Amino acid sequence: MITLDTEQSAARTWFEQLRDLICAEFEAIEREAGSDAAFAYTAWDRADPSGAPGGGGVRGVMKGRVFEKVGVNVSTVGGTFEGEFGKTIHGAAEDPSFFATGISLVAHMANPHVPAVHMNTRFLVTTKRWFGGGADLNPPLPIEEDTADFHATLKAACDSHDPAHYPRFKQWADDYFYIPHRKVHRGVGGIFYDHLEGDFAANFAFTQDVGRAFLDAFPRIVRRRMNLPFTETDMAQRNEWRGRYAEFNLVHDRGTLFGLKTGGNIDAILMSLPPVATWG
C-alpha cells in the first residue's frame, strides 16, 4: 500500500465517490432502456520499478443497450518515473518521485445521436502539487442543443470559481483535442486544465465541481437522444468518427502515454478505444 497524506487521501476518496455516483447513474439509464447491464469491476496492482509499493486501481466496464461500451477507472499510484520520461512531467525534472490519483471515463454509445464523451480529473504530486482534467463531448452527429447544454453546464461550474476559467480552459480543450494529421477537432470541445496548483482547497473544490457538472450534463443529453431513430448512414458516420477518436488517443493523448510510461494496467489505459470503428 502507498502511504497517503491528508490531501492525497481526500482526492482519492472523492474520485472513488464520483465513480460510484456516475456508475449508478449510467446503470439507471440502462434500466430505463429495459436493460439489466451493470458495471463489472476488476482491481489491479502496480509494481513500481523502485521495488516500493506502486499502488493500483479499479477498472469498471459496462456494455449495455445504451452504452455500447463505457469504462470508468480510478487509480492511485506512486513511486518513481523511469528514464527521461520524468523530465517531461511538471515538477519531476530533478526528483523522479511521484504520486497520482484520479478518475478517467470514456463512453461510446450505441445510438449515433448520443455523443461519445470523455471525462478525467486527477491530482498529481511531484515536487509540486496540482490538479488537472476536464471533459469533452464527441458527437458523431453534432446537435447544437446538446453542445450548448454541455458547454453551459461546464461554464457555470467554472464561473462559480473564477470567470477567467471557462474561456481559458475551453480554448485549452480546443487546442488539445485536435488531430493535426486530419486537421480536425476530436469533437465539439469542453474544458481542459492542468497544473492547477497553489491553493489546494480551492483547486480541489473546482475539480469536484467539474465532476458534478459532468454528472449533471451528460446523463441529461443521453436521455434526450437515446431513443431517436437512426439509419445505416448514421452508423457509418459514428464508426468513422470513432476511428478518429482512436487515432487521437493512441497518437496524441498525454494520459495514455502517462499510463503506459508509469506501468499502469494496460486494459484500463486502453479502455478508451471503441468496440467498433472504421477507417475509410
Dump pLDDT digits (tens) for 210-251. Answer: 999 999 999 999 999 999 999 999 999 999 999 999 999 898
94-153 pLDDT, tens digit per residue, is: 898 999 999 999 999 999 999 999 999 999 999 999 999 999 999 999 999 999 999 999
Q: Give the mean pLDDT of 23-46.
A: 97
Phi, psi of 11 (to 5 degrees): -65, -45
| Catalytic residue status for 118 | yes
The domain locations on the chain are 6-271
The pLDDT score that the predictor gives to residue 124 is 97
Task: Tell me which of 113, 118, 151, 165 is the catalytic residue.
Answer: 118
With a cut of 80, say whether residue 46 has pLDDT above it.
yes
Q: Where would I find the H helices in the chain?
A: 6-32, 144-159, 165-176, 200-225, 232-251, 254-261, 266-269
Quickly list DSSP for 3-22: ---HHHHHHHHHHHHHHHHH
The pLDDT score that the predictor gives to residue 73 is 97
Using a cut of 0.85, tell me whether the model's pTM lies above it.
yes
Separation CA 64–CA 38 (nearest Å): 8
Phi, psi of 106 (to 5 degrees): -140, 130
63 Cβ partners below 8 Å, 6+ apart?
37, 69, 70, 275
| Structure-block grid coordinates of residue 40 | 463489472
Separation CA 115–CA 98 (nearest Å): 35
132 dihedral zone (left: phi>0; alpha: psi -120 to 50; beta): beta
**What's the mean per-residue pLDDT of the chain?**
94
67-103 pLDDT, tens digit per residue, is: 999 999 999 999 998 877 877 888 888 898 999 999 9
pLDDT band at 2 (very low <50, low <70, confident <90, very high): confident
β-pairing, 40-47 vs 97-109, is: unpaired
The pLDDT score that the predictor gives to residue 27 is 98
Contact 29, 51 (CB under 8 A): no
With a cut of 90, say whether residue 50 has pLDDT above it.
no
Separation CA 229–CA 226 (nearest Å): 9
Q: Give the mean pLDDT of 191-205.
A: 97
pLDDT band at 25 (very low <50, low <70, confident <90, very high): very high
- Beta-bridged to residue 102, according to DSSP, are 75, 122
CATH number of this structure's domain 6-271: 3.40.1500.10
With a cut of 80, say whether residue 261 has pLDDT above it.
no
